[in-house]
Amino acid sequence: GASGSVWLARDETNGLAVALKIVPREGKAADRAEREAEAASRLRHERCLRAYGFGADSGHVYIAYEYVGGRTLREAMRAGELPDAQGVEAASQILDGLAHAHGRGIVHRDVKPTNVLLTEEEGVSVRLLDFGLAQFDDTETLTAVGDVPGTLAYISPERLRGRIAEPASDVWAVGILLWEALAGRHPFWGVPLPQMAAAIETGAPPLEPERPDLPNRLLAAVARALDPDPAKRPSAAALANELRHAWDERRPKSRTRPKRQRRSLKVVAEPLLREPERLVPVALAGATALAGGLMLPFYPTGWPLALAALAAGAALLSPRLALGIALLVPLLPLGNLALGAAAIGAAVAAGWLVLSWNDARFGLTFLAGALLWPFGLLALLPLLAQLTRGSIRRAAHVVAGVAVASLAAGLGRNALPFGSDALEPLRLEGVESPVAVAGVLFAAVPVPLALEALALAAVAVAIPYVRRPWPVATLGAGMLTALVLLAPAAPAVPLASAAWITCAWLAFGRGAFPRSK
């Protein structure tokens, strides 16, 4: 924890595993720990982490909590592994726990993603953590007059004006948290710290410009939670109920099967026309299946087009199904060439499907490498990788994009990207051992090309965290320097162009990819 350490321990009386929080008696830390223990002793709700016991000595305060495996909501959001449905349900469960606390006269005062545990249980299950700043309706607060306990980014306007925290203040924090989960960035992201308080007091910006595809009822619920007037915000219980109903009603429902089919097509088609980015998964799935069918001789005439149409159509109904089809199509031709190559291809496809499972719509973004390579703009891959969620995925898409570009160059007997020599013909025919195939592929990859791929992957990971002008300029200069040093034979103009475009987007065009944080 921020004010102490947490250890996995075992209760010798019953053998239960517990999370033992140890807080040193320094400053207000001990008082905060005692307050946390008092709050935990009052709460008996499945969404509030249960405290088993409390103890203290001259040097430390100890709190034994139930041990629940998982990670914080912040970690899930940073990894891009919190889909909309899970984000709404997580916020609803947080509100369930807060409603229980509010009913017992406790205001949390520090609700934020790092104080919410997303458990390892199947489905969505959260625990609300750290009531160390909690305010009780029958006791004085920990802070001196004028202090505002909590984390600024999640503090409500009325608290910044000096008012005592109330249940509506916690509702505001959940509204900010949900806004952030749905938009992929904090509503006050980019606001300089000295101006942050003033921006909060004027109210949070509407969510609709960031996510126009969300149901109106859900957008309205978030807006009510973030009303600058605490009296106009719903209670925690009411907001939890409204969020669940808003998400459940996100699509029109019909009683008869024919009407449901006709209306479902309308629901798919209208956003497709309103939001061009929805065409991207369709085009990528179709193009991947077509290229996979034509890459090596195997399928009868006409089959590649049929498979491409199947994958594109599947993208309208289920991005995961489309991704699976697109990755499966090349495997049979590879098996016809070499069983070892097919085995490696199957392993890579399975791994990629797992990696992209929660972000399947953009699971084929790496194919942009084959389109950027002919123009020498492969260094734009880190920018396009921002369409995907999570640092690991972005890095993987960049590396895969460089690999796809190299494959496209090799099939055409052209020079590899970044000025590397043309790829020597791969002798894979009839090779049955996956290990032997892996050895051939590894030996064929030039070291400079591999280093370029890793450098671009690092840029893709760094982009979401670069916000101010000087860091933007530093990233651009570092990107260009690394690319030139690692690939001195590569044309300088395309590399410089890619670096400039990346910096321009960082400075002016972040809204183009709302998923980039």
Q: For the domain that residue 169 is a member of, what is the CATH number?
A: 1.10.510.10
Pairing of strands 126-128, 106-107: unpaired
Residues 35 and 106 placed together within one structural domain of the fold = no
Question: What's the confidence (pLDDT) of residue 258?
Answer: 37
Contacts of 352 (CB under 8 A, 6+ apart): 327, 363, 396, 400
Buried b (16+ CB within 10 A) or exposed e, 473-498: eebbeebbebbeebbeebeeebbebb
Question: What's the confidence (pLDDT) of residue 96?
Answer: 96
> Is 405 domain-assigned?
yes
Residues 99 and 13 placed together within one structural domain of the fold = no
Q: Which residue has the tokens 């960082």?
A: 506
Residues 414 and 481 placed together within one structural domain of the fold = yes
Question: What's the confidence (pLDDT) of residue 101?
Answer: 92
Q: Mapping DSSP to helix (H, G, I), strand (E, B) and coil, where does residue 63 land? A: strand
CATH, residue 44:
3.30.200.20
> Is 266 domain-assigned?
no
Residues 244 and 345 placed together within one structural domain of the fold = no
Residues 59 and 94 placed together within one structural domain of the fold = no
CA distance 359 to 201: 35
> Is 99 domain-assigned?
yes
Picking from 224, 249, 274, the residue at the C-terminal end of a domain is 249
> Is 322 domain-assigned?
no
CA distance 159 to 175: 15
Nearest by Cα to 77 from 361, 320, 358, 354:
358
Residues 393 and 453 placed together within one structural domain of the fold = yes
Picking from 31, 48, 66, the residue at the C-terminal end of a domain is 66
Q: What's the burial of 272, exposed, middle or buried (CB within 10 Å: 0-12/13-18/19+)?
A: middle
Using an 8 Å Cβ cutoff, are 150 and 159 in contact? yes
Residues 349 and 421 placed together within one structural domain of the fold = yes
Residues 39 and 119 placed together within one structural domain of the fold = no
What are 117's strand-pairing partners? 72, 127
In which region does residue 27 sit, left (phi positive, over 0), alpha (psi from -120 to 50) or beta (all else)?
A: left
CA distance 510 to 489: 32
- Domain span at 60: 5-66
CA distance 37 to 64: 9
Residues 128 and 38 placed together within one structural domain of the fold = no
Structural element, H or E, at residue 409: helix 391-411
CA distance 449 to 443: 12
Nearest by Cα to 395 from 448, 464, 341:
464
> Is 44 domain-assigned?
yes
pLDDT in tens, the chain (517 residues): 556 788 888 888 888 888 888 888 776 677 777 777 778 778 889 999 888 888 888 888 888 888 888 889 998 888 777 889 999 999 999 999 999 999 999 999 999 999 999 988 778 999 998 887 778 875 544 443 334 445 788 999 999 988 988 999 999 999 999 999 998 889 988 788 778 888 898 889 999 888 888 999 999 999 999 999 999 999 999 999 999 999 987 654 433 333 333 333 333 333 333 344 556 677 778 888 887 777 777 788 888 888 888 888 888 778 888 888 888 888 888 777 778 878 888 999 999 999 888 778 788 888 888 888 888 888 999 998 888 877 899 999 999 999 888 877 766 666 777 766 666 666 666 667 888 878 877 777 888 888 889 999 999 988 877 767 778 888 889 988 888 888 777 788 888 888 899 888 877 755 444 444 4
Pairing of strands 70-72, 106-107: unpaired
Question: What's the confidence (pLDDT) of residue 80?
Answer: 75
> Is 283 domain-assigned?
no
Question: What's the confidence (pLDDT) of residue 147?
Answer: 44
Predicted TM-score (pTM) of this structure? 0.52
Question: What's the confidence (pLDDT) of residue 142?
Answer: 44
CA distance 32 to 131: 8
Residues 375 and 465 placed together within one structural domain of the fold = yes
Residues 92 and 226 placed together within one structural domain of the fold = yes
Nearest by Cα to 112 from 61, 179, 196, 51:
179
Picking from 193, 222, 249, the residue at the C-terminal end of a domain is 249
> Is 194 domain-assigned?
yes
Which are the catalytic amino acids? 110
Residues 187 and 82 placed together within one structural domain of the fold = yes
> Is 362 domain-assigned?
yes
Overall number of domains in the chain: 3
